[in-house]
Amino acid sequence: MSGYEFDFFISYSRQGSVQKWLLNHFYNKLVECLADECAPAPKVYMDRHMPRAVEWSHNLATSLRHSKIMIQVMTPHYFRSGWCMSELDSMRAREKMLGLASTEVSQGLIYPILYSDSENFPITERMRKWHDFKEYAHPDPVYQQTVDYIHFHKEVKKLAGDLVELMEQAPDWQPNWPIVERPDPIVTPRTPLPRFKRCPEP
């Protein structure tokens, strides 16, 4: 395989409700809105749609290498997942290779979406402007029957416009795009508890 196969790669952690949200609402709505913005319709990779009988870790790495832009869905668990960090580090290495997301060229190839939290993210992860979807983070199907779903659609439509503009600026594909191996879970060291001391005698 050579060249780009996907326009967008969705990177996310399966912990919490975000996977349900992606499958019930975001993925299909994004595909629809991207198709409204340009033709042919952009192709979006999500790991739940990989072919059967493939080795999933190799499929992830190959699909990322052949994707133009990474959509990073940010949750607290994202930054504790070795696989998510591998995807993020790989795309950052590509940006560094191209001189993107730097003081010279501030635009990069990673588009962050905020699904939940943000207060407990590592400080370095707050330096890139994200698209805030916390208000629309309702994972259950019944959300589609509410009035608020219209606002969700409008927000995804706005996102799709941004993504198409970014996609059209993507650099030509190179066979040596880096893949950073980091499969081990990310463990944040716990703060040591103070030792109990015997109370002084009265």
The predicted-structure confidence for 142-188, as pLDDT tens digits, reads as follows 999 999 999 999 999 999 999 999 999 999 999 999 999 865 544 44
Smallest CA-to-CA distance from 31 within 21, 18, 23, 41 is with 41
Surface-to-core class of residue 23, CB atoms within 10 Å of its CB (0-12 exposed, 13-18 middle, 19+ buried): middle
Q: What is the pLDDT of residue 1?
A: 53
Write the single-letter amino acid at 10. I
Structural tokens at position 175 = 């066979």
How far from each other are the two terminal CA atoms of the chain, in whole angstroms?
78
**81-125 pLDDT, tens per residue?**
888 999 999 999 999 999 998 888 878 999 999 999 878 787 877
CA angle 149, 35, 174 (to 5 degrees): 120
Q: What is the pLDDT of residue 187?
A: 44
CA angle 10, 16, 18 (to 5 degrees): 35
Q: What is the pLDDT of residue 103?
A: 80
| DSSP element (H, E) containing 6 | strand 6-11
Is 80 exceeded by the pLDDT of residue 196? no
User: Can you tell me the mean pLDDT for 21-41?
Assistant: 96
CA 46/CA 61 separation, integer angstroms? 12
Query: Cβ contacts of residue 120 below 8 Å, gap of 6+?
Result: 76
pLDDT band at 50; cut points 50, 70, 90: low
CA angle 65, 115, 52 (to 5 degrees): 45
Q: What is the pLDDT of residue 51?
A: 53
User: Can you tell me the mean pLDDT for 10-24?
Assistant: 95
**64-76 pLDDT, tens per residue?**
999 999 999 999 9
Helix, strand, or coil (residue 33): helix
